[in-house]
Amino acid sequence: MMAIPPLKNNCFAMPPGVAWTPVDEAVKQIKSGLHPVVEEEIIPLDLASGRATSKPINANRNNPPLANSAVDGFGFSYDNLPDAEVMEMPLQSGVSAAGKPFGGTVQGGYALRILTGAILPVGIDTVVLEEDTAITDTTVTFRKGLRKGANMRHAAEDVAVGDAIFEAGHVLRPQDIAFLAATAVHEVAVYKRLKVAVISTGTELVEVGHAARDDQTFDANKPMLLNMLRSWGFEAIDGGHFRDDPAVIRSGLCKAAQNADAIFVSGGASAGDEDYVSKLLSEEGTLHTWRVAVKPGRPIAMALWDGTPTFGFPGNPVAAFVCALIFGCPALKVLAGQNAEPAKSYLVPAGFEKTKKAGRREYLRARIASNGQVETFKSEGSGRISGLTWSDGLVELPDDAMNVALGDMVTYIPYTSFGL
């Protein structure tokens, strides 16, 4: 079992002299200050999908293990073909089938019946497709034009024993499991699933399923964030909902830190009179000043609470959603031992117009229209949850000022790039 060192108290510290931190700098700093906090375990291959490899994996076997036929047909030695436009070859008795190899040697100038996946016997280096032949009980005839080695797979042409297959930090997918199985890897070293607790704060909030007064709001953030975490393959822990009381919130944070590897908190991250999350993280945690130039998203709090990475997101659902994608997701990937590559984005023509001021990165709820252009939601308000459902991704507008006209190329990030 590998030893996991604690995180440094300054893991979220930004360079001195930075007033408003650009998004790219914030993400870079988050990733550079963190490291995996979960232990390693060895698990059977069939349970490994969605898990991050903790060590590099090499092939234990050639794939294919031996040269074999790619088709149903007839195999022969290419150098012993007759020199004619139409070639007739006598058939050698027998057949080579997958799992039932031909045990003898194929004579020069003879052809042998061979089926898909069958090992090539000694004396065969080329296969003619059955549909390209005329067959009798004793001969096979086909036209000139085959190249040497046609319709066969060479031993280890896919991967050879000892070849590197995956680096540490690769999140295994079902197709990766197939590759590992084919190369005789039956168990893998992976990181344990990251445990992330989600806490909601706010006296005005009511848990879903309870009665609410007209002056109260149902908590949308906690169920949203819990399900985002599950989509990312993490173990999501309901850390509870707490009223705006520092003692109550402190107790909730302490319990979450005991049960989880990281904490998401929504609400109370600003600097208002009842924004106790940022106050607690500053006074009793290791909160560094995080003024990220992003819309939606301000304010964001990132700190260690009892040594546990804690992310404080805005209470507005849209802002909490965007912050979880842009800042929370890459941070959790690092903590989970995964390769935290940037979300894949695409340049697409704009189906909207917008004038943007300089000074901060903006993320607009967007979707691809039937004409191939990307359109944006009618409102940029952070409380309009319907825009999240309406959209299938985000348009990312750069930090600088810009005027977007119809047809201009803009950056679009589908939610699938974030694993949603």
Give Dmax over CA atoms of the chain in angstroms. 95
pLDDT of residue 292: 86
Q: CA-CA distance, 136 to 350, in Å (whole number)?
A: 64
pLDDT in tens, 354-394: 999 998 999 999 999 999 999 999 988 777 899 999 999 99
Q: Burial of 20 by CB count in 10 Å (0-12 exposed, 13-18 middle, 19+ buried)? A: middle
Region of poorest pLDDT, from 147-151, 190-194, 291-295, 347-351: 291-295
Q: CA-CA distance, 247 to 363, in Å (whole number)?
A: 35
The DSSP code sequence of 123-169 is T--EEEEGGG-EE-SSEEEEES-PPTTTTEE-TTSSB-TT-EEE-TT
Residue 191 corresponds to which amino acid? Y
C-beta separation of 240 from 252 below 8 A: yes
In this prediction the pTM is 0.88
For residues 140-168, give the mean pLDDT: 96
Length of the chain: 420
* Mean pLDDT taken over the chain: 92
Q: In sequence order, what are the beta bridge partners of 100?
A: 97
Domains in the chain (CATH in brackets) are: 23-37+193-335 (3.40.980.10), 42-63+157-191 (3.90.105.10), 68-153 (2.170.190.11), 346-418 (2.40.340.10)
For residues 82-104, give the mean pLDDT: 95
pLDDT band at residue 67 using 50, 70 and 90 as cut-offs: very high
Q: Burial of 344 by CB count in 10 Å (0-12 exposed, 13-18 middle, 19+ buried)? A: exposed
> Which residue has better confidence, 249 or 415?
415
pLDDT band at residue 62 using 50, 70 and 90 as cut-offs: very high
pLDDT of residue 303: 87
- Alpha carbon of 187 to those of 51, 195, 220, 230, 348: distances in Å? 12, 23, 40, 24, 42
pLDDT of residue 15: 58
pLDDT score of 289 more than 60: no
